[in-house]
Structures are given as structure tokens and as C-alpha cells.
Amino acid sequence: MLFTQFRFLFDAVKLFSPGREERKTKGKIDNVHWNSTLRTCQIFLVHFAGTILSFLENPSANNVLPPIKCCVALEMTSFPSSSDKKTLKRWFFIDKRVGNLATMDIESNHSSPVLTDPAPINKSRLGIHSNLLSYATSGGSLSSSKYRNIPRKKPGKLDEVCSNAYLDAMKSSSPPRKKLIKDGADTAYGTWMLKHPSALNSFEEIANFAKNKKIAMFLDYDGTLSPIVDDPDNALMSDDMRFAVRNFAKYFPTAIISGRSRDKVYQLVGLTELYYAGSHGMDILGPVRRAVSSDHPNCNESTTDQQGKEVNLFQPAREFIPMIDEVFRTLVEDTKGIKGAKVENHKFCVSVHFRNVDEKNWQSIAQCVQDILDKYPRLRKTHGRKVLEVRPMIDWNKGKAVEFLLDSLGAGLSNRDDVLPIYIGDDLTDEDAFKVLREGNRGCGILVSSRPKETNAVYSLRDPSEVQIFIVFHKLSIFISISFRFSFQILWWKLDNTSGDEISQFPRDMEEGGCILNNRRTI
Ligand SMILES: O=P(O)(O)OC[C@H]1O[C@H](O[C@H]2O[C@H](CO)[C@@H](O)[C@H](O)[C@H]2O)[C@H](O)[C@@H](O)[C@@H]1O
């Protein structure tokens, strides 16, 4: 036990030194790291006292749990990069044990709705005028404020300028992975990290930001929870990641906002503890809304999830479903001859992948998409990582989805000062969410990228394995505050213990200790 405690102190001092990239560019330890070290020593002392006292009380009990929890949480901050696979494995092994033990301390029934089957659309109830459904050739713009009026080029073939712009955007959407490791890339990344520091090395700063606030977590799927792979159907989330997200979502409201269809992303993640928003936020299954936005009066539908819980289905682009279906079929047909092309139907948007298409054929992909835009003026194009997406021209994106979910979680929460929304994502489409959080310092955006990128996010993480560490770290930080209080309570109780009544009082105190957690969970 003593060895564990001393190892903990040693780690505490060692681990809060700046990470590899920051050391290279900064070369000195700043105040934040010293403050972290002091705070860590403080935690160590309280744990040490608490452990000794509980050991004296019951020598046979497993008293090393609190220090192990702290060691685990501290060790994770020391990862300079995810390349240290051995340490990662050891770390997650410990976390699993601690996670299980800790779950026995704190029980939660938090679960979020899951609905895999789309709710039937009742057009007349939704108030959609029949004109709006005759979409294919109608060129008239919609009067509603939710529809954007974006000037579009005249229909026809891609001209040289337009074609170059398309190809540039397609090329920059995801550079070849091998090139990233080149000399100099590390230095550029290090410099970029001064502007967007690693969220792992900025724990203290984020923790200060989160002080007395309730955390709400928003996660992207591809490139954030699962690594980018050639075949979108093989973008699987690891069991460790699933375990980490599940444990986190038990205590903090957590939502996944993906470009994929809601059904597909639920199928891939498979957790009932989360909220899901598919098609870049155009398909949200969330908690029952207390206030319905007047901008979208006909897009909310009250329904029940698989567990029979009342939930709210929000689909601001419902009327586009038949159009998207038609576009999907056309694109499948049109790209049939292009080797490697893949088209996905996400119900409210269509993805055209060119990751496996020879670069000399990218122009043909661009032309197919342009033909669709020419035929359907109410659709627009966005870019992702080696993917072009066709979606409705409505004023809705991942940023709006974050605001919507914050509102749903508690009326008006999106503007309240006591909530800290955290959004983690890797793609261009996540920038809308980063922007929303950056405006007015509302929350904290974290970009997942292993190369410098222009972004509205404040912090960065290299890849999904660092996302996993970050998620577990935050969950454990709560356990630390509870064990911290727990240690104090043991100390207090030991000094003050005079009657048997106080022993029975103890569990209730622990419950109060857990209120930090409960507060966060019930925003
Ligand atoms: O918002 P997200 O959850 O990040 O979804 C964005 C797109 O993700 C998927 O494509 C990306 O990941 C694939 C698998 O790793 C990769 O092959 C592809 O090149 C990436 O663009 C998904 O297939 C798209 O439909 C989503 O729009």
C-alpha cells in the first residue's frame, strides 16, 4: 500500500510536466503545471491520510482503491502521444478494474432513448404544403427563414475554374496518411499546438473551466470514436472505446452527432445511455423538449423509445426524404462506372465517397455531384474527409443540433452559465459546432487531428485513442473528487465518532458526496 502511495507521489510530480510537443516549442514549465503538481500533492496527502485511517479501521479491506484511482487518472495525462501502446494497454487494464469497482460506489439509472425505426411521417399533421413536395424540377426558393438562399452557378458542365475548386477541396479534404509522418510535420504540429493545446495536457485548465458547471458531452463518430478506414462499413468502434463512452454517459449527458444516419450510428455504437443525432443533426432523438422552438413548429414529434420512455424526435428536413431517396438512386447509377466510388443514403443526406477512387477519376465524381445540384436546386454540397455530401439547403448543422440538444436537456440550457458543453470532432462539418461553442465562450471544442488545421476548436487531440483517454480521464476526475471527499469524510468521522448512530449516518454523507456527480448528470 505504501509503495502505491509513493509511486503515486512520484507520478504526480513527473506527470504534470509539459507534453512532448510543448516541451519542444516552449522549453519551460509554466505556472499551470506547477499548480497542477501542488494540487496533486494535496490530493495525495488527503488520500494517504484516508487510506491509513480506513486501513486502521479494517485491515482486511481493499484499501488501495483510492490511490489506484488517482494513479490511473494521473498516468493518463502523461501520454505524450498515443504511440506508447504498451502503457496504454496497462492503463486501460487498470481503468477497467477501477471502473467496475467505482460503479459499485455510485449507482446511476441514467439512460437515453433509442429508437431504431423511423417514426411514420404524417404530412398533413406536419403542415407541409403539397407544393413543397414537388421538388425535383421546381426552382423557386422557399420563403421560410430556415431555407438558405445561396447563389448557385448556372447548370451545366464543370468549367475549368469550378472544376479546379472542386478538385482542390477534394484533395485537401484528407491528405494521404503516410505523408503526415514526414520531417518537419512534427515541428509544424508542435507550433500549431501552442494555439490548440492538447486537451490531455490542458486538464487543469478544462477542470477550472468546468468548476461548478454541469458537463454535457457531444461526440462525432467517424475519426473521433472510430479510426478512419477505407470502407465506411468497417469503421468500427473498439470495445475499449465503447466501454469508456458508456461509463462517461452514465454520469454526464452525452450525445453523438454524426453525418451518418441515426439508425446506422446507433447500430455502430450500440449504447442506450446516449442521445443520437444523425445526418449532421437533421435527425435528433432526444429528451422531451420543454419548450418547442417557434422556428420549427412542425418538426418535433413526441414518441416513445424501445424502453417505452417518452422522447422527442426532431427532423427539420423531413420533407426532403423522398428527394434524398431519389438522389441516392441517381448517384448510385451515375457512379456505377467509377471504380472505388461508394454512395451512402443517410436519409436526410447522401454521401459520395472517393477515398478509393483513382485521383484521375475525381473529376467524374465531382461532375456527378454537380449534375445533381443542377437538377435539385434545393440541395447543396458539403465536404468531409474524402467524401462529398449532398444535403438539403436548410439552415441546420451540427452547431444548431448542439444548441437544440442543450435546450432539450433543460429549457434554455444553451445560454446558461452553469453548463459546460464539450464537443469533440475531427471533420469540417464539426466546425459549425466548434463555432457555436466558441462564440460567447460557451463551451469547449476539441479537434481530433494529427496535423495542423484551421479550426474554431480550442483544444486538440491527436486521434481516437487520445479521445478515449480524454473521456476516461474526465470520468475518473469525478471519482477522484468523490474519493477525495470520501477521504475527508473518513477523517472527519474518525475524529468525531462517538456513537453508533454516526456509522449509519455515513452512507447518507456519501450520497451527498456524490451530489457533484448527480448534479452533472441531471442538467
Ligand atoms: O460526422 P461523422 O460521424 O464523422 O461522419 C462523417 C462521415 O463519416 C463517414 O466517412 C468517413 O469515415 C469513413 C470510415 O472511416 C471513411 O472511409 C471516409 O473516407 C470518411 O469520409 C461516413 O461514411 C460518411 O457517410 C459520413 O458523412
Q: Looking at the DSSP assignment, which residues form a beta bridge with residue 461?
A: 448
Q: How far apart are CA 343 and CA 52, in angstroms?
A: 62
In ligand 1, the atom with minimum distance to the C-alpha of 232 is 14
Distance CA 325, CA 323 (A): 5
Identify whether the C-beta of residue 327 lies closer than 8 Å to the C-beta of residue 376. Answer: yes
Q: Are 226 and 268 in contact (CB under 8 A)?
A: yes
- Exposed/middle/buried for residue 401 (C-beta within 10 Å: 0-12, 13-18, 19+): buried
Mean pLDDT of 230-251: 95
Q: Does residue 35 surpass a pLDDT of 90?
A: no
Alpha carbons 22 and 194: distance in angstroms, whole number: 7
Give pTM, 2 decimals.
0.67
Q: For ligand 1, what atom is nearest to the CA of residue 231?
A: 17
Q: Using CA atoms, how far apart are residues 517 and 514, in angstroms rounded to an integer?
A: 5
In the chain, % helix, strand, coil (3-state, to 5) comes to 50, 15, 35
Pocket of ligand 1 (CB under 6 A): 220-223, 228-230, 232, 235, 258-260, 344, 351, 353, 355, 384-387, 389, 427, 429
Confidence of residue 293 (pLDDT cuts 50, 70, 90): low
**Whether the predicted pLDDT of 348 surpasses 60:** yes
- Looking at the DSSP bridge assignments, the partners of residue 394 are 147
What is the whole-number distance in angstroms between the Cα of residue 385 and the centre of ligand 1? 7
pLDDT at residue number 302: 80
Q: So what's the pLDDT on residue 515?
A: 26
Active site residue 220: yes
Average pLDDT over residues 166-172: 72
Res. 178 pLDDT band, cuts 50 70 90: low
Mean pLDDT of 327-344: 98
Of 323, 477, 295, 346, the closest CA to residue 393 belongs to 323
* Whole-number pLDDT of residue 55: 54
Q: How far is the CA of 353 from the centre of ligand 1 (A)?
A: 8
CA distance 266 to 115: 9
- Cα torsion 78, 81, 84, 90: sign: positive
Instruction: Determine the distance separating the centroid of ligand 1 and the alpha carbon of 386, expressed in angstroms.
Output: 8
Confidence class of residue 483 from pLDDT cuts 50, 70 and 90? low
What is the reported pLDDT for 246? 95
Instruction: State the Cα–Cα distance between residues 357 and 355, nearest whole angstrom.
Output: 6
pLDDT in tens, 264-277: 999 999 999 999 99
Residue nearest to atom 6 of ligand 1 (CA): 259
Q: Closest ligand 1 atom to the C-alpha of 429? A: 1
pLDDT given at position 453: 94
> Residue 286: enclosing H or E segment and its boundaries?
strand 283-286
Most confident of 70-79, 105-114, 286-295, 416-425: 416-425
* Pick from 493, 510, 509: nearest CA to 50: 493
The predicted pLDDT at position 245 comes to 96
